[in-house]
Chains A and B, each alone.
Chain A
Amino acid sequence: MAEAAESPGDPATASPKPLFAGLSDISISQDIPVEGEITIPMRSRIREFDSSTLNESVHNTIMRDLKAVGKKFMHVLYPRKSNTLLRDWDLWGPLILCVTLALMLQQGSADNEKDGGPQFAEVFVIIWFGAVTITLNSKLLGGNISFFQSLCVLGYCILPLTVAMLVCRLVLLADSGPINFMVRLFVVIVMFAWSVIASTAFLADSQPPNRKALAVYPVFLFYFVISWMILTFTPK
């Protein structure tokens, strides 16, 4: 609140005026109120949006995430050149699939525990560490896909093999024999091919062309090992 000193109104003096002398004529006196409301209209709108997802029911939240996961499942089952899996990646789908597969594959304690199939932890470790290793491999080879995008794709592409596991368990309810084995073998081979093709469709484009085979081979090995675990599943 600068109260400028008023220059003596003396037009008779011919003294040279300093620079910006006219500024001292302006006086901010107290009779002009400097007050008001500083409102940013955007801010209230953002507040509204935040509270809308906070206040929504749990059912809405869960359904929104489930629908996103379901949409990605559809993209895996009908692999097209689309970016949905890569753009909005999430790891819920892979977690659901991995836990389902591990639960179905685990063997209870057999007569000789060492000789049984994979335990829950072994399946879990193979799937997640396998996916991490493949992702690191693809990044080290110079691929331009992000870490979690690649994990997301590899996890979602286990869906055909989970379906194969379900089918195998149903088939095994019938009496075992060579036809039983042939049916299971056929289903597992078809689903294995589907998994590899689906994940290759998403992942191969991110590699430089002269290294595509180097990046795809570990994916092939990964799904081959999972298929082997599914095929050799024998119930008690």
Chain B
Amino acid sequence: MTSRRAAQAQKPLATRAETASEFEEATNLLAETPDAATTSRTDQLTPQGHVAVAVGLGAEDEVEENDKTSLLQEEKQQPGFWTFDYYQSFFDVDTSQVLDRIKGSLLPRPGHNFVRHHLRNRPDLYGPFWICATLAFVLAITGNLTLVLAQRKDPSIHYSPQFHKVTVAGITIYCYAWLVPLALWGFLRWRKGVRERMGPYTFLETVCVYGYSLFVFIPTVVLWLIPVPWLQWLFGALALALSASGLVFTLWPVVREDTRLVAAVLLSAVVLLHALLAVGCKFYFFQPLPLEHIAPPPQAISLSPNTLLASTSPRTMVT
């Protein structure tokens, strides 16, 4: 009889009220017959939310069960997405945690999965949001600074603050860091059926991975101020390698169980998009200045190279 009751207590957590009463029954039974030994059965498990009641002798296990009940009940109580507390749960990070995640993105290692190792399945929105904001502003500001430096060399170049680039930078970076993870997450969920071992990452974890992987571009963009072209390309390649390898190492465990073709296509698409972003930003914000001056001309002819450059480069950037 006790084993049947214990088996009953192993139903999935579909209805909290039922399982709570079943736990109560189990604890009451244990209180009555403290010498009963119940073992957990694995034949009635469902893959989603099974409760393995492996109880032994003694009263402390009852306390453990009650604790487990209350803990599981707490986890179930997610606030609705229209409440403030729902979003507050995504900002539940300390300074040290954010710094640790940034360090983890800067130094990717083959065995280390960013999501499991650093995020520990608690993604945050602070990192992605502020890293994207910083990157957008740094891009616009250093792009403008190169114009200042170029004016030093060639005084006929007319300096202008080029404030519209801030808008462009912001839109590009934020769209990349939020829409590409959305597409990736959707694709991985679609292929979920092929994988057995590892479930896909949640949308927030994907956004986190992408957001933190963009951090390495911030010092790179600052270093792009040095007006030596081959050095700029070297720094760019280095940053791209670090960032893309972080992404690949994180995605590899999820994609490895899929067919070879899908895995190869997905990973190469991820790396390609990342490279496109880096190259596009380099070309748009750090324009190699044309030989003709960007001075305010009296005639309209010399306006055309500038407008031509400004109109073609966004096309290469916005993929």
Contact = CB atoms under 8 A, between A and B. Distances in A.
Interface of A: 107, 110-112, 114-119, 122, 137, 139-142, 210-214, 217-218, 221, 224-225, 228-229, 232-234
A214 B126 contact: yes
Contact of A140 (B91, B94, B303): B91
B317 to A, nearest CB: 16
B283 interface: no
Considering residues A117, A214, A224, which has the most beta carbons from chain B within 10 angstroms of its beta carbon?
A214
A143 B303 CA distance: 51
Contacts of B93: 211, 214
Considering residues A115, A137, A229, which has the most beta carbons from chain B within 10 angstroms of its beta carbon?
A115
Given A117-B160, A214-B93, A214-B98, 9 more contacts: A114-B162, A140-B87, A140-B88, A142-B88, A210-B96, A211-B94, A214-B94, A214-B95, A221-B134
A137 B126 CA distance: 8
Interface string B296-314: 1100000100110010000
Interface in B202-237: none
B306 A112 contact: yes
Contacts, number: 73
A25 B227 CA distance: 110
Contacts of A214: 93-95, 98, 126
Question: Nearest 5 A-B pairs (CB), nearest first?
Answer: A111-B296, A140-B91, A115-B160, A117-B161, A232-B161
A229 B159 CA distance: 14
Given A210-B95, A211-B95, A217-B130, A110 B88 contact: no
A116 B92 CA distance: 40
Contacts of A140: 87-88, 90-91
B81 to A, nearest CB: 14
Contact of B163 (A112, A116, A217): A116
30 contacts: A110-B296, A112-B307, A115-B161, A115-B162, A116-B160, A116-B163, A117-B160, A117-B161, A117-B163, A119-B163, A122-B167, A137-B91, A137-B130, A140-B88, A140-B91, A141-B91, A141-B126, A210-B94, A210-B95, A210-B96, A211-B93, A211-B94, A214-B93, A214-B95, A214-B126, A217-B130, A228-B141, A229-B161, A233-B161, A234-B159
Contacts of A218: 130, 133
A124 to B, nearest CB: 13
Nearest to B129: A137
B163 A229 contact: yes
A224 B90 CA distance: 26
Nearest to A119: B163
B161 A212 contact: no
Contacts of B96: 210
Considering residues B296, B297, B307, which has the most beta carbons from chain A within 10 angstroms of its beta carbon?
B296
A225 B137 contact: yes
Interface in B31-48: none
